Structures are given as structure tokens and as C-alpha cells.
Amino acid sequence: MAFLPPPGYQPYYNPTLPYNREIPGGLRSGMSIYVQGVASSHMKRFHVNFVLPGGDIAFHFNPRFDGWDKVVFNTKQGGNWGKEERKRSMPFRKGDAFELVFTVLDEHYKVIVNGSPFYEYGHRIPLQKVTHLQVDGDLELQSINFLGGGPSPGPGPGPVHGRSPHELPTMEGPPVFNPPVPFLGRIQGGLTPRKTIVIKGLVTQHASSVTINFKAAQSNDVALHINSRLPEGVVVRNSYLGGKWGKEERNISFNPFTRGQYFDLSIRCGHDRFKVFANGQHIFDYAHRFAAFQRVDAVEIKGDLSLSYVQI
């Protein structure tokens, strides 16, 4: 079953290196680019480039392990490199998973590593001229996600991803970056068919449990309970209706919750079921047991994890 991303959310999973792709809709203020991967145990350097047609580089991000570990920032114009900016601090650890976020603002690129602000790099070239993103070096890429950034050049009334606009999944609420755990988010207007909730996070190194609940606040019913039990290696699904738990479901195509690893979950509501995708792969369906699913108006996330991004 193919993963169909909602508009404003464009992920690429397990891309090969070197990565060199057009930025969907072009670079825009307010956009965030998430790069998740694992630093090589023998890492010397890697780079992320925001590239113009013709090869100039608006922003060159370059961690270097060379005895005096540092991160170098620069711009290449007319084929010539400008003046380097450096930070003699290394937020990456050899052999460890990482999450690197570039948030594009009117004044600068804001760089966040593993949830902590790291650097701000002022624009030397207008951001609107950037068309491509390049990544290469001593790392393993797990995913690259392009998020938001206001209106992009639209596809018009025709089909998108081979689907008509009324068939596409939707995300209506604003994104929440690095929210604290436990997290409780409101679903404005309740669940509707095609509504998609995206959750990106990191399972802690000694995690025992991660829980996601879709709740009807008025009745305290839980339409969908997702519970990753790390010691058992299972992901349990259930519903809590009328004060009672129902029958557990455990079959799953693969378990996306691993200690010390990032996950990317998309949960889509349909007319008769939830469809759940992890890292772009369909992992399970869950038939509605709570018939009035439109009354589900809250998402609760708790357990042994940190959250990097939630959009409802």
C-alpha cells in the first residue's frame, strides 16, 4: 500500500547518497527541512547544501571531524567561496542517530540539532533562488522531510499524486515543534475522513513504553490506543469504550519503535478505519470501534520519547 503524503508534507525515506533533489515548490520562508540519519562510526565530514541552478550554493553546512571538531558554514557565489563562518562545537557523535532541522526564516537559516538550537546563518543569496537540496558524506540517511512554508506553486485543479484533490489526505492544524512530553493536542472540529496526524520523535535509549491515544474528551473514550512495549517488542492497538478495554490487536508488518532511533508516524482517518504508516511504509489498519469517530477531538502522546514535530 503506497504512502500518500498530505499537501505541505513531503518526505523521502531511505534516500541514497549522494542526495540531490529539487525542493518541492522551491525554498520558502517558514519551511522546515528535517534530515534524519546516522553518523558513520568513522565519520570525517558530511555536508548539506542549499543549491541554485548553475551550481552556486546559498548555504553550505559542513560538520568536520578533523582533530579540532567544528562545523563550517559558507556560501558559494559565481563559483567562488565566501568567508567561512565556524562553530567549534560538534553536535554529532560518531555512530549515533541524529535529527538535523533547517528552518528557513526571512533573515536567516536556523539550524537545530537533536532538538537544540545550534546556529543561525544569515542569507547572502535570496532564499527564493534556491531550487535543490544536496546531502553527501560519511552518514546514512534515513529520511528527508520538507514541511510547510506557506503556499507553494499549486498544481491547479488537476490530480496530485494521481489523485483528485478531494481524495488527498489533509493536515489542517499548525505544526508544533519540539513539544514537551506528555503531549495533548486538540483536533479542531474532531476527526474527519482523510485527516492525517503526523508525529516525529525519538525513542529514548532505555525506553519501555510509548503510547499514542486518540480520545473523545467529553466521554473519555479512546478510539485508538497505540502502545509500543519495547521490552516485548510489540505494538498493541486497542480501544477503551464505556470504561472497558476491548480486544488487543498485535499483528504488524514491522515495528518502527526502536530504542535510540527516530520514527516518523502518519495516522490517517478513513470512513471505516485508521491507516497507519511509519517511515513511509504501511504498518497496520485499525477498524473503527468508536462509530462516532467525529467526536474524537484530542491526541495524547506519552511515554519514553522526545517529540520533534507534531501536526494535527
**Cα 228 to Cα 192, 250, 251, 304, distances in angstroms:** 25, 10, 12, 10
pLDDT at 67: 80
Question: Given pLDDT bands bounded at 50, 70 and 90, which one contains residue 6?
Answer: low
Read off the C-alpha cell for 106.
Answer: 526571512
At residue 302's C-alpha, the angle toward residues 15 and 146, to 5°, is 25
In this chain, the answer to whether the domains covering 10-147 and 176-311 adopt an identical fold is yes
pLDDT at 8: 64
pLDDT at 174: 73
pTM: 0.78
**pLDDT(1) > 70:** no
Is residue 25 within 8 Å of residue 291, measured between CB atoms? no
Spell out a b/e string for 93-130, using b for 16 or more CB atoms within 10 Å of the CB, else e: eeeebbbbbbbbeeeebbbbbbeeebbebebebebebb
- Residue 173 CB-half CA count within 13 A: 22
What's the mean pLDDT when you consider all of the chain? 90
- CATH code for the structural domain at 10-147: 2.60.120.200
The model's pLDDT over 58-82, given as tens digits with 9 standing for 90+, comes to 999 999 998 889 999 999 999 999 9
pLDDT at 152: 43
* Sequence ranges of the domains in the chain: 10-147, 176-311
Pick the CATH number of 176-311 from 3.40.50.300, 2.60.120.200, 2.40.40.20, 2.60.120.260: 2.60.120.200
Q: How many CB atoms lie within 10 A of CB 233?
A: 10
Phi then psi dihedrals of residue 236, to 5 deg: -95, 135
- Provide the phi-psi class of 232: left if phi over 0, else alpha when psi is between -120 and 50, else beta: alpha
**pLDDT(155) > 50:** no
pLDDT at 91: 95
Is residue 276 within 8 Å of residue 282, measured between CB atoms? yes
Read off the C-alpha cell for 41.
Answer: 562510526
The model's pLDDT over 182-215, given as tens digits with 9 standing for 90+, comes to 999 999 999 999 899 999 999 999 999 999 999 9
**pLDDT(242) > 80:** yes
The model's pLDDT over 17-35, given as tens digits with 9 standing for 90+, comes to 999 999 998 999 999 999 9
**Mean pLDDT calculated for residue range 215-237:** 96
Phi then psi dihedrals of residue 294, to 5 deg: -65, -15
